[in-house]
Amino acid sequence: MAKLKIKTGDTVKVIAGDQKGKEGKVVRVFIEKNRAIVEGVNLVSKHTKPSAQSPQGGIVKKEASLNISNLMLLEDGNTTRVGYRTEDGKKVRFSKKSDKAI
């Protein structure tokens, strides 16, 4: 299982695919599937049956997952690659563009 460089709560930009150019916050990361759900990006229409929670049913807009390879971390409004290094005995992520710890 590969180590992913994007975590829940990161602000990312979509760099490839239909949603290219959109930005948002990572809501959830699926490590085993190499995918992430980004807030407000890749919305799909899901048809729901009437139930106790939603007696009306109908069509609901919901975020679908995107492949991690199509996402890039945003730092101060700019996209950056992510690296790892040890600082004071701790492993930290850092921006390859600005060389600052994230």
pTM: 0.85
Please name each of the domains of the chain with its CATH number.
11-51+59-95 (2.30.30.30)
Give all strands (DSSP E) within the chain, no chain letters: 11-14, 23-30, 35-38, 43-48, 58-63, 66-67, 71-75, 78-80, 82-87, 90-95
Q: How confident is the model at residue 1 (pLDDT cuts 50, 70, 90)?
A: low
pLDDT digits (tens, 9 = 90+) for 60-80: 999 999 999 999 999 998 999
As given in the structure block, the two tokens for residue 6 are 């994007």
pLDDT digits (tens, 9 = 90+) for 14-25: 999 999 999 999
For the cut 90, the answer to whether the pLDDT of residue 54 exceeds it is no
